[in-house]
Amino acid sequence: MQSHMKQNLWGYLFIGPFIIGFLAFTIIPIISSLYFSFTSYDLFSPPRWIGLDNFTKMFTEDPRYLHSLKITFIYVFAGVPLRLAFALIVAMLLNTASRAVGLYRTMYYLPSLIGGSVAVAIMWRQIFGDDGIVNLALGVLGVDPVRWFGNPTAALWMLIFLSIWQFGSSMLIFLAGLKSIPLSYYEAASVDGASFFQKFFKITLPMLSPVILFNAIMQTIGAFMTFVPAFIISKGTGGPLDGTLLYSLYLFKQGFEFFHMGYASAMAWVMLIIIAILTSVIFLSSRFWVHYESEGGR
Amino acid sequence: MKPKHLKKIIYHLLVGGFAILLLYPVIWLIMSSFKLSENIFVTAQSLIPNPFVLENYAQGWEGFGDYGFATFIKNTAIFVAFVLVGHLISCSLIAFGFARLKFVGRSFWFAIMIKTLMLPYEVVMIPQYIIFAELGWLNSLKPLVVPAYFGHPFFIFLLVQFIRTIPRELDEAATIDGCNTFQIYYRIILPLIVPALATTAIFTFYWTWDNLLGPVLYLNSPAKYTVSMALNMFLSNETVSNWGAMFAMSTVSLIPVFVIFFIFQRYVVEGISTSGLKG
């Protein structure tokens, strides 16, 4: 009994910092945030209870919010699948015995390494400028220059391209996954006369599916929270015509530019709910496409 | 030529060419930082600076107002150092607790920790801001570094996974030799998890160095600005269209990231491949 107590004591001594931090920086803020979401609060006078007004306003009276939600969905659902597709294709190309693979791996990873920085966002802003190198390259291909900052859709795609450009970290994870697939599977398939596509769909994809699931979830959450590129590329405005007003940026502006703390808290809660639903949907769908070795195939 | 060789050449042209295409903007940024400001967009199609000048670096280094870029680098270095120490101490202690100690409620707290991994920062951002404002911590590094001393779920998870691969016999032998629990952590486990601690340190460096939202929220006097914020300022003052200085300082801000990567490449690649850390 005594040693039991002692064990518990040691355990809580070690994880104590986590529990304290969790209470102070996560749980108390989460509960306060929930409370603020039902109030009107500008930081200077005390919060005033307004019930569900913030939430109804969001969906009925604030077209800017709905627009921001829409473009964030486009950003997430165009960016993440394309990013994962690029990651998988390049990982498969690099899964060979060539000596240059180490160098290529580094080169493809570098955009991920620096992609979250302000420097890269500044760079992106400049290369998509009217006389930037992207338009120069389009000119060489005979395509008319695009006014990336003159058109909200083009501006959003500029952000999506930046997200896809950083496929390197997923590529590394996929590459590690590919290397763990036993070669004998492919050899057996070759003996049976399987084509490249049959091998890809019957061996590679199923074996890699748990890793793809994990990546799809983490990248979706991450993409939903994208802030820095939208903030820098639009110089904090979300423009042109709110074309880059991603959810996090709009939330930030509501909170710290307009001091609508209650409204911003409500936005954060809707974001949490959307992310929870998205992750659950991906999880539930995984029953149909994720293959777990240890559980006899499912 | 043999078809096998041809296949190889096509492979390298394709894979290598695509890699260069992806990196071209970065190369362009770096090369442009050595061009005269007024030439950058006129000669955007060329990588070679003509004339080759260093004045952008001199100008950018002066910073703005009364603060030179060296101040911003120093501020960022202090910020990173405090967070780094915090993560290394707290995450290793917490991970040891989760990985090695049996106590009531362990799986409950572990599950909670994993859940916080998926919690968007936006949900806690506003109340945290209000709490730190109440504490009088605004315009200081405290709101940005104090939480680091209470663990970070990503790194705790990474370290737990790593500690689980260390044979328990080592702990048992140490217990027989009279070590208490803290000594097992300090003398046995800590030296063995150095590679995972290196990964923790490297990613802490990257995320802290790049952090923009935190400093934008909490720091408001230019004397305390970090490098990310300073670059953001360059952009806001863009009216003078001094691209050169902005490109030069952007390049400077990338140097530490590249240097750390090339020195510790192995830990970075392993950290991502084994734990799914996003880079």
What are the angstrom distances between the C-alpha of B275 and each of A136, A174, A298, B37, B81?
A: 40, 12, 22, 43, 24
| Minimum distance, in Å, between the CA of residue A296 and any CA atom of chain B | 24
Q: Do A26 and B96 touch (CB under 8 A)?
A: no
Candidates B212, B196, B210; CA nearest to B268 is B196
Residues of B in contact with A271 (CB under 8 A): 120, 122-123
What pLDDT, in 10s, does the model give residues B144-180?
999 999 999 989 998 998 898 888 888 888 888 888 8
User: Residue A37 and residue A273: Cα distance in Å, rounded?
Assistant: 13
Q: Do B269 and A172 touch (CB under 8 A)?
A: yes
Q: Is residue A219, in this structure, part of any structural domain at all?
A: yes
CB atoms within 10 A of CB B239: 6
Q: Is residue A189, in this structure, part of any structural domain at all?
A: yes
Q: Is residue A268, in this structure, part of any structural domain at all?
A: yes
With 0-12 / 13-18 / 19 or more C-beta atoms within 10 angstroms meaning exposed / middle / buried, residue A176 is middle
User: Residue B228 and residue B219: Cα distance in Å, rounded?
Assistant: 12
What are the angstrom distances between the C-alpha of A45 and each of A39, A150, A260, B123, B151?
A: 12, 40, 12, 21, 34
Q: Do B118 and A279 touch (CB under 8 A)?
A: yes
What pLDDT, in 10s, does the model give residues A177-219?
888 888 888 888 888 888 888 888 888 888 888 888 888 888 9
Q: Do A264 and B130 touch (CB under 8 A)?
A: no
- Residue B194 in tokens: 């150095």
Range of the domain at A259: 52-295
CATH match for B61-275 among 1.10.10.60, 1.10.3720.10, 1.10.20.10, 3.90.650.10 = 1.10.3720.10
- In the prediction, which pLDDT does A296 show? 47
Residues of B in contact with A117 (CB under 8 A): 209-210, 228, 253-254, 257
Q: Is residue A37, in this structure, part of any structural domain at all?
A: no
| Minimum distance, in Å, between the CA of residue A145 and any CA atom of chain B | 14
Is A126 within 8 Å of A119 (Cβ atoms)? no
Candidates A258, A250, A268, A229; CA nearest to A123 is A229
Asked if A226 is an interface residue toward chain B (Cβ–Cβ < 8 A), one would say no
With 0-12 / 13-18 / 19 or more C-beta atoms within 10 angstroms meaning exposed / middle / buried, residue B31 is middle
Phi then psi for residue B64, to 5 deg, are -145, 160
Flag whether the ipTM exceeds 0.90.
Answer: no
- Residue A124 in tokens: 């992106």
User: Residue B60 and residue B190: Cα distance in Å, rounded?
Assistant: 43
Tell me which H or E stretch contains A48: strand A48-49
- Interface probe for B, chosen from A122, A167, A246, A247 (most Cβ of B below 10 Å), is A122
Number of domains in chain A: 1
Candidates B29, B129, B272; CA nearest to A128 is B29
Q: Which of B26, B104, B127 sits opposite A33 (nearest CB)?
A: B127
Residues of B in contact with A230 (CB under 8 A): none
Candidates A106, A60, A40; CA nearest to A266 is A40
| Minimum distance, in Å, between the CA of residue B130 and any CA atom of chain A | 8
* pLDDT in 10s for each residue of chain B, 279 residues: 577 788 888 989 999 999 999 999 999 999 988 988 877 777 777 888 888 888 889 888 888 778 888 999 999 999 999 999 999 999 999 999 999 998 999 999 999 998 888 888 889 999 999 999 989 999 999 999 999 999 999 899 989 988 988 888 888 888 888 888 898 899 889 999 998 899 899 999 999 999 999 999 999 888 999 999 999 888 887 655 678 888 899 999 999 999 999 888 888 877 777 666 554
Residues of A in contact with B16 (CB under 8 A): 100, 104
> pTM here?
0.89
Q: Which of A14, A26, A214 sits opposite B116 (nearest CB)?
A: A26
Phi then psi for residue A174, to 5 deg, are -65, -40
Q: Do B124 and A8 touch (CB under 8 A)?
A: no
Q: Domain coordinates of chain B in residue numbers?
A: 3-56, 61-275
Name the residue of chain A whose CA is nearest to B209's CA: A117
CB atoms within 10 A of CB A194: 16
Asked if A266 is an interface residue toward chain B (Cβ–Cβ < 8 A), one would say no
- Interface probe for B, chosen from A6, A15, A35, A233 (most Cβ of B below 10 Å), is A15
